[in-house]
Amino acid sequence: MRFLVRRLGFLLVALWAALTLNFFIPRLMPGNPAESMMARFRGHVNPAALHALEVAFGIGGHQSLVTAYFEYLGNTLRGNLGISTSYFPLSVTSVILKALPWSLGLVGLSTVVGFLIGTAVGAIAAWRRGGKMDSVLPPTFIVISAFPYFWVGLLAIWLFAVTLNWFPILGGYSETAVEQWSWPFAGDVLTHAILPAFTIVITSIGGWILTMRNNMITVVAEDYVKMARAKGLKNQRILWQYAGRNAMLPSLTGFAMSLGFVISGAILVEYVFNYPGLGFMLLQAVQTEDYPLMQALFLLITVAVLLAIFVSDIVTAILDPRTRVRA
């Protein structure tokens, strides 16, 4: 119980620190959203709009930084994230809700798939150290994961979408398709998701393989594994339930963190594929100095990562009683 309380306390302090940084960092950037928006228009709107925009965004008011800070804390706790300045006049919540499913679906699923495949390959590779699989798969994927992501993404586009024409190049769905719950639309979304998902999986797999393989090698040498062998248990059972379960613990924390980062989308993936998710939105929010949207996205990422770590702590504690303090 004390363990749980301590972890919870840490969670709250980390949250407060994140909120505070989140409030101040965007304000250290030069300019303000109204000026940034005028710069985007390149002379296409009446210059007088600068004043109107400043009024609309509440810039240049007499509110002090301290008042604004406490107002921000209060609003955030009440779930009021404000109005996006780049997607003005949409509320930040509605903007995020539009993009969230796309990131969760694409990045979430491919992260899970990448983790599962990577961990399995790592475990098997370590089990049959020096075997064919061990000498081919881990090095290949580690090399792939060392490539810059956008290069892999563009290569995949060039090969599978442009040259072979198997998949569409960009977007979450066809440009003029109607968003609705129907089989043709679901199929449309799926064909658009395959290529970006594939690139996420092949670039993330290497890390999982490496971690799992290294852990597994140590674990396999443990006495209890020797004991299991001596008992004559089936190889499969020793591999997954004796060695695999313990070797997976460090990977699990990493997995929890990467699940947290799913919320941020994969910025490069979404940019390269014009995918309408949160990562692309974050990029845009930074470019246009959309403070409310930026803050909400950073907050969401922080909360997701903190929660994911919290959950992984609990799970680790359940799987491995030694991590419980004076249990």
The 3-state DSSP class for residue 232 equals coil
Residue from the set 24, 41, 70, 224 that interacts with other proteins by CB under 8 A: 41
70 interacts with other proteins by CB under 8 A: no
Only one residue has tokens 């949409």, namely: 90
The 3-state DSSP class for residue 187 equals helix
Q: Which is nearer to other proteins, 42 or 326 (CB)?
A: 42
Only one residue has tokens 């796309």, namely: 102
What would the x/- binding string for other proteins be over residues 218 to 257, using CB under 8 A?
Answer: ----------------------------------------
| Gap between the Cα atoms of 243 and 221, Å rounded | 9
Amino acid at 174: S
Residue from the set 28, 47, 132, 232 that interacts with other proteins by CB under 8 A: 47
**And the tokens for 21?**
């940084």
Residue from the set 93, 174, 316, 323 that interacts with other proteins by CB under 8 A: 174
- Beta carbon of residue 100, minimum distance to other proteins (angstroms, whole number): 12
Residues 6+ apart with CB under 8 A from 87: 95, 290, 293
Residues 6+ apart with CB under 8 A from 261: 301, 304, 305
Q: Which of residues 260-299 bind other proteins (CB under 8 A)?
A: 271-272, 274, 276, 280, 283-284, 287-289
Residue from the set 4, 16, 27, 31 that interacts with other proteins by CB under 8 A: 31
Rounded (10°) CA dihedral 79, 85, 87, 92: -10
**And the tokens for 297?**
């996205």
Q: Which of residues 80-109 bind other proteins (CB under 8 A)?
A: 83, 86-91, 95, 98-99
Task: Catalog residues that contact other proteins under the rule CB under 8 A.
Answer: 29-32, 35-53, 55-56, 83, 86-91, 95, 98-99, 148, 150-151, 154, 157-158, 161-163, 165, 168-179, 188, 192, 271-272, 274, 276, 280, 283-284, 287-289
